Amino acid sequence: MNRRAGLRVAVLLAPALLVVVGLFGAGLGLGLLQSLGYQPYLEGWSWTTAAYTGLIDDRAVRASLVLTLRTSVLATAGAAILGLAVAMLVHSSRRGRRLLTAVLQVGLPVPHLVGALSMSLMLSQSGLLSRLTYAIGLTTSPSDFPALTEDRFGWAMLAEYLWKETPFVAVVALTALARGVAPLQDVAATLGASPWQRFRYVVLPLVTPAVGAASVVVLAFTFGSYEVPAVLGRPYPAPLSVVAYQRFTDTDLTVRPQAFALGVVLAVAVTALVAVYLRLLDRLGATR
């Protein structure tokens, strides 16, 4: 590749890069500044790491960390496994594959907020399901129905993430499967490979990069997602994003650096998680 072509690529990419690096990088940098106490609208502000050290023994943050990690990891693993299973099912069905693929794609453009509201209408103690169990005499009052929204575990949140992200992973996996996995499987079968062996040594290595990339997106998203826990979760314990927003909207302006500190922590944690996840995937793909 010659120099001019390289320059051309750089020039063509510049507007996009400028937006990404400018908006994102500068935003992150300014967030960092504010997390360190930069509050020019307050008299007597000073540089301090108090916002960060305060997070360590903040009960809301500790509880939040556990909840955030648990929900996002479960949602990611669940969506990856279910998505792959669905993709293989659709791929192996000779008839109706196109229709099934289309059905999978229907949910993709639906915003998470809409998904969360739907889950709330369906799963809350006075929701559709609860009314159904009441109508057929299984429950006699809303509180008889199990608490799936605003619950300690976060069932409705998990359900929303799985409902939304499973088709996403499945569609990505289907694309990978479509690149000639069938002949390879046939070859393996004629060589005497069992169904499990065919899955483990033929299908899995083929789809791992695609499913891995998709689940990185899912992990990063669910870790930082705000609207889903805001609708379906509790005010305490709440995921980091919700806690950050609670601090950002605190009427006491001196609390604000904590919100930005949480934002920075969130960004660092997501980056670290993604790195660990990719490392794990590499290992999975490498052992043949």
Partner 1 sequence: MSVRLYGPALLAAALVLLSACSAASTGAPATQSASVPATAQGAASDGPDPSRWSDVLAEAKGQTVNWYMWGGDEGLNDYVNDWVSPKAAELGVTVRQVRIADTVDAVNKILGETQAGRTSDGSVDLVWVNGENFATGRQADLWACGWPSRLPSARYVDLADPAIANDFGRPVEDCEAAWNTTTSALVYDAARLDAADVVSLAAFQQWVQAHPGRFTYPAAPDFTGSMVVRTFAYDEAGGYQRLQGPFDQARYDALAPRLWGRLNELGPSLWREGDTYPASQDAVAKLFADGEIDAYFTYGVGGLGTQVQQGRLPATTRTAVFSGGSIGNANFLAIPRNSPNAAGAMVLADLLQSPAAQYEKKVNPPGYDPAIDTTKAGDFAARFAAIPVPAAELPASVLAEAVVPEMQAGWVTRLEKDWVSEVQQR
- Give the binding site for partner 1 (CB under 8 A): 20, 23-24, 26-28, 30-31, 33-34, 40-43, 59-60, 63, 125-126, 142-143, 147, 150-152, 217, 220-221, 224-227, 230, 234-236, 241, 244-245, 248-253, 259-260, 263-264, 266-267, 270
| Smallest distance from partner 1 to CB 126, Å | 4
DSSP secondary structure letter of residue 179: T
| Smallest distance from partner 1 to CB 4, Å | 29
Of 184 and 230, nearer to partner 1 (C-beta) is: 230
CA atoms within 13 A on the CB side of 119: 29
Of 82 and 217, nearer to partner 1 (C-beta) is: 217
The rounded distance, in Å, linking the Cα atoms of 72 and 278 is 16
Pull the structure tokens for residue 32: 């960092």
| Smallest distance from partner 1 to CB 33, Å | 8
Of 41 and 47, nearer to partner 1 (C-beta) is: 41
Of 123 and 202, nearer to partner 1 (C-beta) is: 123
Of 50 and 150, nearer to partner 1 (C-beta) is: 150
| Smallest distance from partner 1 to CB 28, Å | 6
| Smallest distance from partner 1 to CB 204, Å | 24
Alpha-carbon distances of 32 from 223, 265, 271, rounded to whole Å: 19, 10, 16
Of 76 and 241, nearer to partner 1 (C-beta) is: 241
Degrees, nearest 5: CA angle 174-179-182: 90
* Alpha-helix residue ranges (DSSP H) falling in the chain: 3-17, 26-35, 50-56, 59-92, 97-106, 112-123, 128-135, 155-177, 181-190, 195-198, 204-224, 227-232, 240-248, 256-286
Q: Is the separation of the CB atoms in 55 and 269 below 8 Å?
A: no
| Smallest distance from partner 1 to CB 46, Å | 14
Taking the CA atoms of residue 190, residue 193, residue 195 and residue 196 in that order, the dihedral angle to the nearest 10 degrees is -160
Three-class SS string for 73-122?
Answer: HHHHHHHHHHHHHHHHHHHHCCCCHHHHHHHHHHCCCCCHHHHHHHHHHH
Of 88 and 218, nearer to partner 1 (C-beta) is: 218
| Smallest distance from partner 1 to CB 140, Å | 12
